[in-house]
Structures are given as C-alpha cells and as structure tokens.
Amino acid sequence: MTKTMTDVVCPFCGTLCDDLEVSLSDDGKQILEVYNACVIGTEKFLHSQAKDRVTRPRMRQEDGSWKEVSYDEAVEYTAKILANAKKPLMYGWSSTNCEAQSVGHEIAEMCGACVDNTAAVCHGTTLIAVQDIGIPSCTLGEIKNRADRIIFWGCNPAHAHPRHMSRYSIYPRGFFTGKGHKSRKIVVVDPRVTDTASLADIHLQVEQGRDYELLNALRVALNNEWLPDVVAGIPQEKIREVAEVCKSGRFGIIFFGMGVTQSLSKNHNIDEAIALTKHLNEFTKFSIMPMRGHYNVTGSGEVLAWQFGFPYSVDLSRGFARYNPGDTSTIDLLLRGEVDAMLTIASDPGAHFPISAVKQIAKIPSVAIDPHLTPTTGVSKLHVPVAFVGVEVGGNAYRMDNVPIDTRKVVDPPAGMLTDEEFLTKVRDRVKQLKGVK
Amino acid sequence: METVTITMKNPPQLYLEADNVTPDKFAGKSASQIAELHVYEGNTTSTLGKYFEVAGSAGATAADTKIVVKGDVSKVKYLGMKMSAGELVIEGSADQYVGAWMSGGKLLVKGNVDAFAATGMKGGELTIEGNAGNYLGAAYRGDWRGMSGGKILVKGNAGSDVGMYMLGGEIVVNGNIDVHVMTHAEGGKVIIKGNAKSKLGGQLVDGTIIVFGTIDVMMPGYKPVGEAELEIDGVKAKFAHFIGDTGERKKKRKGQVIYGNLYKKL
Ligand code: SF4
C-alpha cells in the first residue's frame, strides 16, 4: 500500500500551488508520484530523490579539486569570511523559507553586510516603482472570482507559471465568472508570438523596448488626447480600442513579467503600468500584479521589508539600512568591486548574472548553500548542500500576490543533512562568538 | 578664502564614503583636525588622514573655505554632500553622489562623475567637465523631491534618468543624453545641446526640456502645437513646440490646464 499525502505545496514558481498530492512508498521515505503539479513542479519533487545527490559540504582545494568537509568546518569557514569582511554580500534567498531568511538577516546585521534577493535580476524594478507610486493590487482568488479583463504584459505563463492560467487567470469558473474562459477578454502584449499570446483575444505585438511608450499611449487614450498614428508599432485605433476594452470590463488585472521589468525603461515601465492601472480605476475596477518567479522571492521581500524597511538590495554596512539599487544592488556591487566576501543561498547567480560579475564571485571568498550542484556552487570556494525546502522541510513562503502559505515536509532529507535554517543558525551563533555579541 | 588640499595617498581596497569632505565640515579646522574626520570603507570607520594627505587650513566659515581634492578619487563616494557654501574642486573623476543635496557654493569636477550626482540638489553650482552618470539631479530612491534649485553644467555627456522628479533649477548638458529625461518632474528645466534618445518627459507634470540635436523617439503624450522662437545663452533659434505629458495628471492655474513644454530645434 502506498501512502498519499494531500494539500502539498509546490516549491517551484510564484504560483505556489497548494493542491498537490504526493504518493509515497510504504516506509514513507520515497516519493513515487506527484499529482496535480505541472511538469516543472513535478520535476522539483522527483529531483530531490536523485541517487547521486551531494550530501556533505565540499571545499575547493588549491589544485581545483573538491574535498568533503564536515558541516562544522563549513560553519567555521562561512562565519569567518563573513565576520572578517569589510563589506560581505549575502545574496539569493528566493528558494528557501522565511524562517531561514530571518536567521540570515541576523548574520547580515552583525557583519554589516549587503543583503539582496533575486529580485535584483527580476522584479526589483517593480519594487522600485511600487515605492515610487504605490500599487493597487489584489489576491489571485479575487481574480479567479471577479476578473473579466486579463492583460498579460511581457510575461508568458504558459511556460513560466504553467498552472496560473487554469487556476486563476484564464480558465477557472469563479463566483462572478461562471462561464470561465468565455467570461474573460484576454489581451497579451509581447513582441513575440508566445504560447500565451496564441490564447489572446487581442495580441499587441509591441516593438521591442517601446512598452513605456505604449503604456503612455493608453493613458493618453483614456484622456481622449491627441496620439500619433502609430505608437510602438501599434496603430492608434488599436490602442484606443484596447483602452475601451479595459474601460468596459467589471474587474481588470494586468499581470506583468520580465519582458517589461528587465527591458529598456525597467522600473519606468512598471511605474507607468501602475499609473495606467490607477488611471483605469477612474472608469472601472483594475488591479496589477507582478508574475514573481521563484516560489518565495516575494517572502524574501516581505521579511527584508519587515526587518529593515526595504524589500531587496539592502546595505547594512554602516549599521543602518540603506537602499538604492544602482549602488546597493548585487550586480553593481560585484561589477564595481565593492564587496570582499559572498554568501549565496537558494539561487543561482552563476547561471543568471553577467559573466564579469560571476568572475568576481570566483575572486573573493565565497560560499554557496544549495541542494543542487549549480554554476554558482562551481565557482564558489565552499558548497554546502542542504535539505530541499518544501519537500524535506516545511516553512513559510509567500505567493506572488503576497499571500503567505506554509509549505509542507513530505519526506526526510538524507541522513545527517542540515536545512538552510539549521546551517544558518550555526553560522549565526559562531559569528556572535567571533564578534563578541552577547 | 583659505584653501585646504587633500591628496589621495592610500587608495581604499573597496570604496570610500567621504561625506565629510565639504567646506561646511572643514570650516574652522586645522589640517590635523580635518585629518581626524571620519570616513567609511564598508563596515569599517576610519579617518580621512588614513587615506588622504591633508595640507593647508580651512577658513572660519564654509563660505571662506575652498577644498581641492587631488589624486585618484574614482572610488570615493559622497564628495561635497550637503555642502552649503564655499568651493570644492575635484581635479580628477569621482564616484557616486557628488554634490548630493548640496544647497549652495561651487563644486567643480574636472573629470567624470558616476551616478547620483546632485541628488536632491537645492542650490549652488555644479560643473562637470567630463561626463555625468545616471540619475543626475534626480530624487533619492523612493523620494519624490529631485533637484529643486541651483545650476548644473555637464560639458560632456549625461546618462539616463537625468532630472527624475525634478522640481526646479536648471541642468545644461553640452553633449548627448541617454533615455528618460525629467520623468515625473514637476518643474525645472533641462537643456540638451547634443542628441537625445527617447522617453523624454514621460509622466512629467510640469517643466521644460529643450533639445538642440535629434530625438530618436518621441513620447506619444507630447502633442505638437507649432513653433516657437527661444533665446538660449544669447543665441536665438526656432524650435518645434510640444506640450505634455498629456497622459499624466495635470495642474490647473486660473482654470487653465498647465502642460510641460518640450522644444526641439528646427
Ligand atoms: S504552476 Fe508553479 S507552483 Fe504550480 S505546480 Fe507548476 S511550478 Fe509548481
């Protein structure tokens, strides 16, 4: 008889699906099947079962080879490089639980570190815009039950958030959206014909890098002002038509992704999209929501903001929190040579940062805490493997709409392995000793 | 006016935060007292004298004090921050936040400056003989008060986000300028003698942008309203006149809607 565990939470993308079912072997030690999850979610659970998994920390040797070390030795190295640095950087946090993030921030405060999460290369620009002009948002449940105008701007949930459309945004039948897909008009704004775009009632194939102009033109259309014949490759009649489609809905939502947060204009794109949303509220009800990638990048922002007042790129080096992306943001810190030690946790900058920034990681004392072998663990001096959060240990995470959900432990980690939180707690206690903090 | 010269002799391993290098902080101090002022390298606090050789002495007040900064200060931040009077001359290039929140006096940089120069500037004169980085004369992150007074002259090129949230004062860029000029501005003027790229005056409530060269892409929220003759630095010329941003909220004066103005030389 296999056992089935219900209401399991998927620790992969920001949709944070909480309806998974997992069947386990008789002894409860082996995951056999994962139900309800999408392909990438299923893969995350099954990956934890890999037989060749690294289960003990490894230190890079002079000759480039790796030597297995104990967790205690790993704690000692990590505590020392952070405590001795003038400006250490603690980056990542997006694929671990809020409990681990909180312990990490204690270390950061004692060491005068910079703390940053993967928003730095993703939705950080969104957070800048939110600080500048605020954000009228809602929960995914409200969208499922009420939204009849859905705009996907620069995002492709068909691939990045596979169950988003069926659970919340396109197909579900909600309280006021009983006809499901038929109750909704879908607008996709993307320079490419993506799989999401193929589901749209209207696809605006905006010119690359001209989202800011198109957003501005929609606001001009709402004000019934003059427009040039073509904006961002879209005829002005089409722009006015989309403005009317938005105005005529009962409840609209703009979902946006990295197509606008990381293309030309960055934070300004989001700033203008939020301004458009506010503007639309003069006519009907409209909301806007970022399609957050990592399952708990939102949580990292929440915990950082709760503890230090800012959601990413926080610089604690002078003993108080400062925040100014461009100065305190990870890639700038690395490229400019502003930091002299780096801890990476629950993310893979080695795969996502510009190569010159990755080279800088290789130059300074560095540790990577990650269950997987990644390009980042490959360039760091020390690799600390840990249990999979959401599979081998539970803990709190925040969905893309800022709803906190407790993830669940499904199986035990391999014998003797620590969790992120356990490892960081040991490092924190050692840093306390080194710094003479009571 | 008395002159203090500080010369970099021991460059920082990382970057230095030197927000005490202003006529205001130096005023009334001897060279040895100035050498005791704090600077910060990461989480480490030390003294100006550890990095710089200090010579001369300051005047009794900021207005009587001139500071000359020599040597490589390309890794030094916050030079001239919050200065209110006197003079500061940086002989080379400086890093971020040069003249941030300055309210008076004269600041001259003979080289380039990195981002965030003149953040929230209130008054005085800032001259940059080289190029300026991003966010020149803009608001600090999350603030809605950019440059509100004073004058900035950049003899070279300027980066993106110049004059974001600008409220007043004037910025002249002799060279070219990158994207986003005067975003969210509610006043002030930016004059670009060279070429501009795009996103000029986006979300601008009020203010003036004058471009002598080309503009790659106009914002759709700028409506052509004819031609205008302007006199700038003693030169008269004809400009195409646009008003905007017509998508953004607008103020009213005596029942009239107030628009921002964008002029492009014909
Ligand atoms: S949509 Fe995201 S959270 Fe849901 S199952 Fe797929 S990867 Fe997991």
CB of A317 less than 8 A from some CB of B? yes
Q: Band of the pLDDT at A52, cuts 50, 70, 90?
A: confident
A212 to chain B: closest CA residue: B199
Please report residues of A whose CB lies closer than 8 A to that of B42: 85-87, 112, 317, 340
Ligand 1 centroid, distance to A215 Cα (angstroms) = 30
Whether residue A41 has its Cβ less than 6 Å from ligand 1: yes
**Coil vs helix vs strand at A105:** helix
Topology at the third CATH level for domain A58-122+295-435: Rossmann fold (3.40.50)
Residue of A nearest to B14 (CA): A338
Average pLDDT, integer, range B84-91: 98
Q: Tell me: pLDDT of A265 over 90.
A: yes
Distance from the Cα of B247 to chain A's closest Cα (Å) equals: 4
Asked if pLDDT for residue A50 goes beyond 90, the answer is no
CA quadruple A74, A76, A78, A81: dihedral sign: negative
**Token reading at A125:** 């620009």
Does the pLDDT value for residue B58 go beyond 80? yes
Mean pLDDT of B111-117: 98
Residue A300 distance to chain B (closest CA, Å): 20
Amino acid at B114: D
Q: Which chain A residues are Cβ-neighbours of B96 within 8 angstroms?
A: 327
- With beta carbons under 8 A apart, name residues in chain A contacting B218: 228
Choose among B232, B217, B229, B222: nearest CA to B262: B222
pLDDT over 90 at A236, yes or no: yes
Instruction: Note the pLDDT tens digit of each residue in A207-223.
Output: 999 999 999 999 999 99
Contact B98, B80 (CB under 8 A): yes
Nearest chain B CA: its distance from A87 CA (Å): 5
Going from the Cα of A41 to the center of ligand 1, the distance in angstroms, rounded, reads 5
A contacts of B15 (beta carbons < 8 Å): 336, 338
Pocket test for ligand 1, best of A18, A19, A36, A40 (most atoms within 8 A of CB): A40
Classify residue B12: in a domain, yes or no.
Answer: yes
Q: Domain span at residue B6?
A: 2-223
Between B235 and B181, residue with greater pLDDT = B181
Q: Do the Cβ atoms of A350 and A358 come closer than 8 Å?
A: yes
Give yes or no for residue B81 having a pLDDT over 90: yes
Maximal C-alpha separation, chain B: 62
The answer to whether the CB of A11 is under 6 A from ligand 1 is no
Please choose, from the candidates A378, A342, A298, the residue with its C-alpha nearest in 3D space to the C-alpha of residue A101.
A298
Evaluate if residue A438 carries a pLDDT over 90. Answer: no
How far is the alpha carbon of A78 from chain B, nearest alpha carbon, in Å? Answer: 18
Tokens of B262: 């964008």
d(CA B178, CA B157): 8
Report yes or no: B117 at the A interface, CB cutoff 8 Å: no
- 8 Å CB contact of B247 and A264: no
For residue A37, report the distance from its CA to the centre of ligand 1, in Å: 6
Q: Record the pTM.
A: 0.96
Average pLDDT over residues A273-291: 98
Q: Please work out whether the CB of residue A161 comes within 6 Å of at least one atom of ligand 1.
A: yes
**pLDDT, mean of residues B117-134:** 98
Ligand 1 atom, smallest distance to A42 CA: 5
3-class DSSP state of A354: coil
In a domain, B260, yes or no: no
Q: Residue A1 — pLDDT band, cuts 50, 70, 90?
A: low
Domain residue ranges of chain A, discontinuous segments joined by +: 3-47, 58-122+295-435, 124-290
Q: Do A85 and B179 count as a contact with CB atoms less than 8 A apart? A: no
The answer to whether the Cβ–Cβ distance between B42 and A327 falls below 8 Å is no
pLDDT at B175 over 70: yes
Residue whose Cα lies nearest atom 7 of ligand 1: it is A41
Q: How far apart are the C-alpha atoms of A167 and A65, rounded to whole Å?
A: 47
Mean pLDDT of B6-24: 97
Residue B41, chain A, CB below 8 Å: the answer is: yes
Q: Give the three-class secondary structure for B171.
A: strand
- The nearest alpha carbon in chain B to A213 belongs to B219
Q: Do A223 and B247 touch (CB under 8 A)?
A: yes
> Is the Cβ of B219 closer than 8 Å to some Cβ of chain A?
yes
For residue A416, what pLDDT band results from cuts at 50, 70 and 90?
A: very high
Give residues 219 to 238 of A whose Cβ lies within 8 Å of B: 219-220, 222-223, 225-228, 231
Q: How many domains does chain B have?
A: 1
Give the architecture-level CATH label for domain A124-290: 3-Layer(aba) Sandwich (3.40)
Residue whose Cα lies nearest atom 4 of ligand 1: it is A17
Please check whether residue B64 is in contact with residue B2, taking contact to mean a CB–CB distance below 8 angstroms. Answer: yes
Task: Using the atom order of ligand 1, give the atom closest to the CA of residue A163.
Answer: 1
The H or E element spanning position A225 is none
For residues A172 and A15, give the distance between their C-alpha atoms in angstroms, rounded to a whole number: 15
Question: Is position B262 within any domain?
Answer: no
Residue A277 CA, distance from chain mean position: 23
Q: Is the pLDDT of residue A3 over 70?
A: yes
B181 lies in some domain: yes
Which residue among A38, A391, A405 is best mutated to probe the pocket of ligand 1, counting the most ligand atoms within 8 A of its Cβ?
A: A38
Instruction: Copy the structure tokens of residue A433.
Output: 């000793």
Model pLDDT, residue B61: 97
| CA A12 – ligand 1 centroid, Å | 6
Flag if A213 and B217 touch (Cβ within 8 Å): yes
Q: Tens digits of per-residue pLDDT, A316-370?
A: 999 999 999 999 999 999 999 999 999 999 999 999 999 999 999 999 999 999 9
A132 interface with B at CB cutoff 8 Å: yes
Select the residue of A112, A226, A264 nearest B42 (Cβ to Cβ). A112
Ligand 1 pocket residue status of A40, Cβ below 6 Å: yes
Chain B contact probe: residue of A115, A219, A237 with most B CBs at under 10 A: A219
- Is B250 among the domain residues? no
Contact A327, B117 (CB under 8 A): no
pLDDT, averaged across chain B: 97
DSSP A133-184: H------HHHHHHH--EEEEES--HHHHSTTHIIIIISS---SS-TTGGGG-
In this predicted structure, the answer to whether residue A2 has a pLDDT above a threshold of 80 is no
Dihedral over Cα of A103, A105, A109, A115: its sign:
positive
Question: For A89-118, how does the pLDDT look when each residue is reduced to its tens digit (9 = 90+)?
Answer: 999 999 999 999 999 999 999 999 999 999
Q: How many CB pairs under 8 A join A and B?
A: 108
**Residue pLDDT, tens place only, A155-189:** 999 999 999 999 999 999 999 998 989 999 999 99
